[in-house]
Structure 1
C-alpha cells in the first residue's frame, strides 16, 4: 500500500490525522450496550493506562447497563437515541452515582450519537448496528478523529460520502475480516496485491442446499456455531448477506476490484481473511474467534494491545477447512457484488431492504429464503435509480425510505402467501 492508495485504512500510514497522546487515548464508544460495545468497554477497563472513554451512546433499550458502563468508566457524557429513555437513564445514573453526585451530561434523540462522535476525543469506535451509523461516521471524520469502524453499513451505504471525507489512514477497520486484511496488507504494496480472500464461517446452515433452507426458523438462524452477535448480524451471517456487505466494504476500504475479492468458507473461524500477492504468496491473519483482538487493534493502532485476546494454542493439533461458497444456496454474495458495482444508492437500497426483511423473518412474516429473494427484487426495482450519479446524504436517506417501504410491502405479501400455503 502507498500514500496515494485509495485504501483508507492504509497500514503504512502509522498515524492518521494526529499522533496518539502521551497519556491514555480518549475514546468515544457508540453502541456501547451491544456486542461490539460491551467488548470494547471490557478492553478499555483492562487497559486504563492506554484508553479513557469520555462518552458513550446506545439506543436506549438497556439503560441499566448504559448507566453501569458510564459509572465504571467515569464518562463526561452519555447519549441515547430514544428520547423517551432519557428519564429512565437519568434515574439509573442517579442510582449508580448516589444522591447528590454530579451526573454525566445526558443527550437524547436521534442525533445524540452524531453529536458525541463530533465532540472532543482522539478515537471514535462506531459499534452501532445498521445504516443509522452513517451520520456519526461522517461526524467523526469531519472532526478529524480516528474512526475505529465496526459499523460497516455506514461505509457501504455512504460510499463516496465517507471515502471523500476520510483522510488516508483515518479509518481503522474493526470487523474481524477487514482487520485481518488490514494486517496482512502490511506484507506488500498495493500493486503487489493479486486478490483479497474474505473468509466466512458459513453460518448455521453451511452445507445445506437451497431446498433445505425454506423451512428454517428464526431460532435455527440465530444459533450461530462460532460467534456471539446481535440478532440482525447473526441472521445476516446465516444468509451470508453479512459476507456480501463485507465484500463491498473491502472494495471501498482497499480499492480492490470486485473480481479480485473472493469469499471462502472456513468453518473454524481461526483464519479471519487472507491477501494473495502476485508472486503466489498468501498471507493470513489467524487468531481464535474473539472480537476483542480487532477491537483493541482499532482502538490502539498503530500499537498492539498486549493480551487483547488469547492466541492460537499451537501445542495441540488443529484441523482447518476451506470450502468454496455455494452461491446457489447463498446468492447474497454475488448480489452484493452487483450492488457494489452499481454504486450510487444501490448499496443503500440493498442494506435497507435487507434490514426490513430480517425484521420480517424474525417476526415470522417472511420465510428464510424470502429474505435475499425479496432484497434482490427491491434492488432490481429501485437499485439502479441512483447509480452513476454524485451521491448526497438526502439521496441515501430517500433511497432507504423507498427501499424499506417496498421491502415491507413485498414481505407482507410473501408472509401472507406462506401462511395461506401452511394452512391450506
Structure 2
C-alpha cells in the first residue's frame, strides 16, 4: 500500500527527523492520522491544523491545555502524557514513524511493536537499551521494524537476509563529526557551540554531540547487532567525511554492495514509508561529478574512546549497553549545560560502566530495563561530581 491509502503515525514531529518525515509524508501523499511531539505546542498545533490527524498528542502534560485550546475549536482531538503517547503509537496505522530521541522512546516503541505495527525506527536508544525485549515483543506480535537511521537503512537496502552465510561483514560509515582532525587538547577546550557544528547533517543537540564524540557510531554498532544477525565481530566502522556512502555489505565472493545518497534523512524515511515499493522524495539527485571524490579512513579510538566503550559494552552483554546509553544521556546533558568538559563525556560513561554491578546480567521485562536505566543515571550523576568545567 502506498500514497494516499497509507495511514501514518508520526512521533517526534517537531524535531529534525520529524521535519524530514513530514516532508516524505507530504511528498508521498500519505495520510497523517496521528502525530505527537514533546512540548512544542505551537509547532505541533500547526502540523495538526495542516494535516488534521485523528489524534494529536503532546508528551508534556503541562502543555495539554495549550494544545487543546488550539485544536478543540477545529474539532481536532488531542491528549497528553506518556500513556497517550503509547496509545498513539499503537493506533491503527500502516506505519508508525518513531522519531522520538533518547530512552524516552522505549515505551511508545514497545507499544507499537506490541500492536504488530510496521515501525519506522529512527531512534537507536530503544535497541541499545532493550534490544532483546523489543525484538521479542516484535516477533510475538508480528511487527516489522524498518530502520530509518541513514546508516541502518543503507545496510537494510543492500543486505541479503537469505544469504547470511555469504556475508563477510557490514560496515557503517561515520562523518567523523566536527572534531575529526582536532587534537585532544582542542577537544578538551571545546564548548557546546563547537561540538554542535556538524559538517554535513542538521540534527538535534543530543545526536549532534554524540556524533562529535563518536558515541553515535558506537550506539549504531549496537543497533546494527540487533537488526542484522551477523555477530558483533562482523560489524565495522569507517570514517567517510563526505557522508555520501552510508553503509556497505561485504560478501564472501569479493563483492561490496554500498548505498549512496545525499546526506538527508528524507531519503531513508521515504524508502521505509514506500517499502516494499519505491516512491519519490523531495530530495536533490546525487551528483557524483559535483562531489568529486569520496575518502575513507579508520576511526581513531584513542581520540574517540566512546566507540571502544560501546563495543566493550556490547561484548559484555546483558544490561551493559543500557548502562552505556543512560550514562551517555546524563553526560551529554551535563556538557550541553556546560557543567563538564567535552572529554568528560566518555570518562563519565566509562566510570559508570565500571561502577555498575551485574552489567552482564540479562533482563526480560520493561520494569527491569527502567530500573537499570535509573541506577545507571544515579551512578553517572555521582561521576559528574568529579568533573570540572574546562
Over 3 Å counting, the alpha-carbon distance change for 1:261 and 1:110 in structure 2 is: same
In the other structure, the counterpart of 1:326 is 300
Contact kept in structure 2, 1:44 and 1:52, CA below 8 Å = yes
**Equivalent of residue 331 in structure 2, options 349, 357, 375:** 357
Change (3 A) 1:256 1:211: farther
Q: What is the rounded CA distance, in whole Å, between the counterparts of 1:164 and 1:379 in structure 2? A: 25
**Superposed, which structure 2 residues align to 1:65-84 within 5 Å?**
65-84=43-62
Cα deviation, residue 294, structure 1: 0.2
Q: Secondary structure at the match of 1:273?
A: strand
- How far apart, CA to CA, are the structure 2 residues paired with 1:21 and 1:225? 34
TM-score, structure 1 normalization: 0.88
Q: Quick one: distance in 2 between partners of 1:194 and 1:32?
A: 38
**Among 58, 63, 75, which residue is 2:37 paired with?**
58
With over 3 angstroms needed to count, the CA separation of the structure-2 counterparts of 1:21 and 1:283, relative to structure 1, is closer
Are residue 29 (structure 1) and residue 10 (structure 2) matched? yes
1:86 is matched with 64
Q: SS in structure 2 opposite 1:189?
A: helix
Q: What is the TM-score of this pair, normalised by structure 2?
A: 0.95
> 5 Å matches for 1:295-306?
295-306=269-280
Partner residue of 2:228 out of 254, 263, 284 = 254
Q: Pairwise mapping of residues 128-139 of structure 1 onto structure 2 (< 5 A)?
A: 128-139=100-111
What is residue 17 of structure 1 aligned with on the other side? none
Contact 1:366 1:411 in 2 (8 A): yes
Match of 1:272 in 2: 246
Deviates more, 1:286-295 or 1:202-211: 202-211
CA distance in 2, matches of 1:189, 1:27: 32
Distance 1:221 1:38 in 2: 22
Deviations 1:68-104 (A, max 9, x none): 101111101011111110111122335xxxxx5312x
- Give 1:187 deviation, angstroms: 9.2
Q: Distance in 2 between matches of 1:140 and 1:69?
A: 22
Partner residue in 2 for 1:160: 132
Determine helix, strand or coil for the equivalent of 1:323: coil
Is the contact made by 1:31 and 1:37 (CA closer than 8 Å) also made in structure 2?
yes
Matches within 5 A, 1:197-208: 197-208=171-182
Q: Does 1:405 find its partner at 2:384? A: no
Alignment of 1:240-251 (within 5 A): 240-251=214-225
Whole-angstrom CA distance in 2 between matches of 1:142 and 1:210: 45
SS in 2 for 1:205: coil
Comparing 123-132 with 387-396, which one deviates more in the overlay?
387-396
**3-state SS in 2 of match to 1:361:** helix
1:38-97: CA deviation from partner (whole Å, max 9, x where unpaired): 11111112222xx1110111101x111101101111101011111110111122335xxx
**In structure 2, C-alpha distance between the alignment counterparts of 1:268 and 1:365, rounded to whole Å:** 32
Contact 1:353 1:404 in 2 (8 A): yes
User: Contact (CA 8 Å) 2:270, 2:281: kept in 1 or not?
Assistant: no
* CA distance 1:22–1:238, change in 2 (3 Å): closer
List alignment gaps of at least 5 residues for structure 1: 1-19, 95-99
Name which of 90, 95, 99 aligns with 1:123. 95
Q: Within the alignment, does 1:211 sit opposite 2:185 as a pair?
A: yes
**Once the 2 structures are TM-superposed, how far is the Cα of residue 295 of structure 1 from its aligned partner?**
0.7
2:266 maps to 1:287: no
1:389 to 339, 342, 362: 362
1:226 aligns to what SS in structure 2? Answer: coil
2: CA distance between counterparts of 1:405 and 1:338? 21
Alpha-carbon spacing, 1:229–1:345, altered in 2? closer, same or farther (3 Å): same
Q: Deviations over 1:292-351 (max 9, x none)?
A: 000111222111222342221145461111011000000111211111122222111111
Question: How many equivalent pairs are there?
Answer: 388
Q: CA RMSD in A?
A: 1.7
Q: Offset at 1:391?
A: 2.4
Deviation at 1:113, TM superposition (A): 1.6
